Structure 1
Amino acid sequence: MQNESNQGTNQHESETPVDLNEETTETQETQAAATDTPSADAQVAEIKDKYLRLLADFENFRRRTAKEKIEFQQTAEEGVILAIIPVLDDFERALKSIEKAQDINSVKEGVQLIYHKLYKTLEQRGLKPMEAIGKEFNGETHEAITQIPAPTEDLKGKVVDEVEKGYSLKEKIIRFAKVIVGN
């Protein structure tokens, strides 16, 4: 028995104590290093693929919105042109009737009717004339062509005459009024 017990003791004595946690940690690190590389490459490939798809989607979106913008502008222009064509027809009829007309007042009245029809058509589309005469000069809405001596003291710094009427389209100025200012 002693032999057996010595053998058992010798066995335990000859073995060096091993920390199982160290072995497990080293094995895990080795496995992680081995698996991280393919995993990292896969992640990079996945991210690259997502990036390329996102870039392609953005390019498609940019092209589509540019195309829609051009189509919208063409459609808007078409609407205005279609609204003005009847006025053009009226002008053609007026020009034909001017050749035959013997009364200038009837021609004048016809031209005034056409003007009012055109004005109403544009007004329905959002066009508004700007009132300038007698108003204080404003560089944001007026373009001063020249200055003249003010006819009266109260017209100094104000618009005395309007060379070209200014217009706004739906609250946005599309043409500044060209004016003469009193000094």
Structure 2
Amino acid sequence: MTSNDFNQEGGERRPVTARELRKRKEALERQQKEQPEKERVDQEDKEALHNDPLPDEKAPSEPEKEVLPENPELVFQLLEEELEKVKGEAEEAKKETAKWKKEAEENEERALRSAADLENFRRRAKKEREELAKYAAVPLVEKLLPVLDNLERALEAGGKSEDAKALHQGVEMVYRQLLQSLEEHGLTPIEAEGLEFNPHEHNAVMEVEAEGVEPGMVVEELQKGYRFKDRVIRPSMVKVSS
């Protein structure tokens, strides 16, 4: 009997009973029997895992085959209906595209017309501004024309009198200075006598018979006409041959 066969309690060793020895023996035998069975189960589990892959590792199953109707005429009818549907959708898309294309072209045309109208308006406005600046002095010149007329009459009357020669010379000097100043700003007399009648520059107030003169010729100027730059501001008052 060894030291393991005794229990130490209170400083004394107690002998192990026969019952306790049998229990130990039975427990040891059960342990020896269970060990091979456990190893066998573990081995079977390993083989099962090796032979059967995990669910996510299984090979993909083959796709199911589409089951077609057994009636070929029904198949053709379904295909024709599908084809007609696709054709209708394509036609609608084509019409819609043509509609949008037409609207885009119309919008582009309107934009071009608007741009052209705007450009024309700018040109007209610019031309009007230039015209206003060019002929801004017309009202003043028109008011001075009667002054020129009176000076001309004074010259005609003074030149006939010997006593009025000095006055005639003074008036003539004023007349020429005034006419020169106005000509520098764009005023020019209109030629009339001896020329063919021009309705744009001449105002015929009388027709007379003139020997040796063709009809429609200006035979006498009653009042001088004037042009300011390229615009007639007063036509010449004339007599015309008939």
- TM-score normalised by length of structure 2: 0.42
Tell me, yes or no, if structure 1 residue 134 matches structure 2 residue 197.
Answer: no
| Aligned equivalent of 2:100 | 42
- The alignment-based identity, stated in percent, is 24
Query: How many Å apart are 1:63 and its aligned residue?
Result: 3.3
Query: How many Å apart are 1:36 and its aligned residue?
Result: 1.0
Superposed CA deviations along residues 60-91 of structure 1, whole A, max 9, x for unmatched, are 3343233223322222234x57xx7xx9xxxx
| Aligned equivalent of 1:75 | 133
Distance verdict in 2 for CA 1:111–1:128, change over 3 Å:
closer
Q: Distance in 2 between matches of 1:104 and 1:177?
A: 28
Q: Distance in 2 between matches of 1:46 and 1:75?
A: 43
Amino acid in structure 2 at the alignment position of 1:180:
K
Size of the aligned set, in residue pairs, is: 146
CA contact (8 A) 1:145 1:180 kept: yes
SS, match of residue 193 in structure 2: coil
Query: How many Å apart are 1:33 and its aligned residue?
Result: 0.5
Query: How many Å apart are 1:104 and its aligned residue?
Result: 3.5
| Aligned equivalent of 2:238 | 179
Query: How many Å apart are 1:140 and its aligned residue?
Result: 6.1
Match of 1:164 among 205, 223, 235: 223
Unaligned runs of 5+ in 1: 1-13, 88-102
| Aligned equivalent of 2:67 | none
Amino acid in structure 2 at the alignment position of 1:148:
V
Amino acid in structure 1 at the alignment position of 2:108:
K
CA contact (8 A) 1:134 1:155 kept: no
Superposed CA deviations along residues 132-177 of structure 1, whole A, max 9, x for unmatched, are 2233445565432113343xx2246343211133455677766543
| Aligned equivalent of 1:98 | none
Amino acid in structure 1 at the alignment position of 2:218:
V
- TM-score normalised by length of structure 1: 0.52
